[in-house]
Amino acid sequence: MVRYTHPEMFYVFIPLTLVMIWYALQGKKLRSHLEHIGIPSVKKFLLNRVKHSRIKLRSRLLILGIVLIVLASTGPQIGMKLTELTRQGVDIFILMDTSTSMDAVDVKPSRMEKAKYELGRLLNQLEGDRVGLIAFAGSSHLHCPLTEDYAAVRLFLNSMNTHLISTQGTDLAASIQLALDHIEEEKDKYKVLVLVSDGEDHQGEAIQLADKAKEMGIIIHTLGVGTPEGGPVPMYDEKGNRGGFKKDRNGHVITTTLNEMVLSEISQKTGGIYLRIENQVNAILPLLNEIESMEKREFKSHIFSQYEDRYQIFLLLGLFLIIVEFILPTRTIEEMKWEGRFTKT
């Protein structure tokens, strides 16, 4: 299979073809004039010292050489070659809270949408790192396994919402445990967990698991989405239309607040950082700096195939033909001998 890096150069063949046609017509006209130059004896006297076959050969060599050079300019790539690719980075598990409290609107447009926006900016800055997604509410599920395909991760991230997991609640411990279960022990120091939540831990076991992560040398960064003042949780109908706000049994609007104490303690125990995500810009920047400063490991080399450039063959052949055309004589040996005698005298 052949492909070209600069296929637009094929357009050069259009004027080249027109020049060749014009050249052929002029040659035909010249040969016609030579046929009528005189009687056979006169033509033999005038033209017997020139090899017409050499002239034709030189013309063809020149044309073919130009064609090959133009073909080389298109950048033909023929065949395949194996190339070894290595990359350096860390494995990042993003633990995303999908409980209904993430619909609260104390952060615009909502806690969930703000978190997805900031995590999207995180993905835009990563290079060589593998990323996985875990969704959790009352239970936890692996939403996207570790991969370096950031487009796929972004697709899974954008699909997250508070209806993803039917079991409601906020079990931080279950998400951390699921992430730890997917970590290879011999590579622990290159693992990072990014816990994104409003901190409403309904089970209360996350701190103990943070101690376990610390023993394994795993860093947990926490992102608290929301405000300490909190905000109401909107209600939506089956068609996705927003109605009122979630209320308690007494008819009062429920206000969900950001629990920074739990998230901050988790990050401190494991040597991570805690960030509050509100309506500010560049909220994710400190986390980016932390990940960039981490020790990177070299992932398993990937072998991939790619096209190999072959333009050199056409270029060298074209130059060779032009050089041959330049040095190829068109006069007979007798003519060159006669010129030599004439020069000596």
Q: What pLDDT is attached to residue 297?
A: 63
Q: What pLDDT is attached to residue 100?
A: 87
Residue with the two structure tokens 């104390």: 106
The total of other beta-carbon atoms located within 10 Å of residue 277's CB is 23
Angle at 142 between CA 141 and CA 143, to 5 degrees: 100
What is the C-alpha R_g of the chain? 38
Average pLDDT over residues 37-48: 62
Confidence of residue 84 (pLDDT cuts 50, 70, 90): low
Return all residues near 202 (Cβ < 8 A) that are at least 6 apart.
Answer: 138, 169, 170, 171
| % of the chain at pLDDT higher than 70 | 79
Cα torsion 307, 13, 57, 319 to 10°: value is -40
228/230 Cα distance (integer angstroms): 5
Residue 300 has pLDDT above 70, yes or no: no
Residue 336 has pLDDT above 70, yes or no: no
Average pLDDT over residues 305-334: 82
Confidence of residue 39 (pLDDT cuts 50, 70, 90): low
Tell me, what amino acid is at 46?
L
Tell me, what amino acid is at 336?
M
Residue 95 has pLDDT above 90, yes or no: yes
207/201 Cα distance (integer angstroms): 10
Q: What pLDDT is attached to residue 136?
A: 92
Q: What pLDDT is attached to residue 345?
A: 47
The string of pLDDT tens digits covering residues 96-144 is 999 888 988 888 889 999 999 999 999 998 888 889 999 998 889 999 9
Residue of 296, 257, 268, 287 lying closest to 127 (CA atoms): 296
Mean pLDDT of the chain: 82
Helix (H) or strand (E) holding 133: strand 130-136
Looking at the DSSP assignment, which residues form a beta bridge with residue 2? 78
The total of other beta-carbon atoms located within 10 Å of residue 22's CB is 10
Q: What pLDDT is attached to residue 134?
A: 95
DSSP assignment of 217-256: T-EEEEEEES-TT-EE-EEE-TTS-EEEE-B-TTSPBPEE
Confidence of residue 342 (pLDDT cuts 50, 70, 90): very low
Q: What pLDDT is attached to residue 152?
A: 93
Q: What pLDDT is attached to residue 56?
A: 80
**Domain boundaries for CATH 3.40.50.410 within the chain:** 88-298
The string of pLDDT tens digits covering residues 233-284 is 887 766 666 777 777 777 788 888 888 898 999 999 999 999 999 888 888 8
3-class state of residue 334 by DSSP: helix
CATH 3.40.50.410 fits 88-298, yes or no: yes
3-class state of residue 176 by DSSP: helix
Instruction: Report residue 130: phi and psi, to 5°.
Output: -95, 140
The string of pLDDT tens digits covering residues 9-23 is 889 889 988 988 888
DSSP 95: E
Residue of 217, 221, 248 lying closest to 235 (CA atoms): 248
